[in-house]
Homo-oligomer: A and B are copies of this chain.
Amino acid sequence: MNISQITEEDFKSFWPTLKLIIEAEETYAFDPQMSFEQAHHLWCGIPQVTYVAKEDDVILGSYYLKPNMAGPGSHVCNCGYMVTPAARGKGVARRLCEHSQDVAKELGYLAMQFNSVVSSNDIAVKLWQKLGYEIIGTIPQGFRHKKLGLVDSYIMYKQLNP
């Protein structure tokens, strides 16, 4: 598995995965109707950096990294990770997250925060906990899950030691 900065071609290949994930409305608080252009802006335009994981030129997943807040809050970063359906269960999310922590430290961030980890997304919650992220807050019924209705979402946080 090889992790590199995303190219325009990469994003085109990744778009069906992003679309599938947001349309499912089970894990991401993104507009499920967004267009290719809006998704490109959100995933590659607004963030500071965006990476893709590939194996034999096939995209396995992607993540973005950006400051979670501006100005006096800009020492804490925020990331979002997505793995293609075909690459699930192979440790891709873990590799992307570890990579993002290294990149975040290089960029001078002191901590990383996830603002909306859906409580029903057991696999993600457990993986982030294994990687040292703590639940620092719970938003009561913060997420309208397509199948489960309103469920809590977690704010998770990890200090990044240099």
Contact = CB atoms under 8 A, between A and B. Distances in A.
Interface of A: 22, 25, 28-32, 69-76, 110-111, 113, 115-116, 136-146, 150, 153, 155, 157, 159
A10 B123 CA distance: 49
A70 B116 CA distance: 11
A72 B157 contact: no
Contact of A139 (B139, B142, B157): B157
Contact of A29 (B70, B138, B150, B155): B70
Number of copies: 2
A150 B75 CA distance: 10
A18 to B, nearest CB: 13
Given A32-B71, A71-B31, A137 B138 contact: yes
Contacts of A31: 70-71, 74
B140 A137 contact: no
Given A73-B116, A75-B150, 19 more contacts: A28-B72, A29-B69, A29-B72, A31-B70, A31-B71, A32-B71, A69-B115, A69-B116, A69-B142, A72-B143, A76-B139, A110-B141, A111-B141, A113-B142, A115-B115, A137-B137, A137-B155, A139-B155, A140-B159
Nearest to A42: B70
Contacts of A30: 70-71
Nearest to A22: B71
B72 A25 contact: yes
A29 B74 contact: yes
B140 A72 contact: no
A30 B74 CA distance: 9
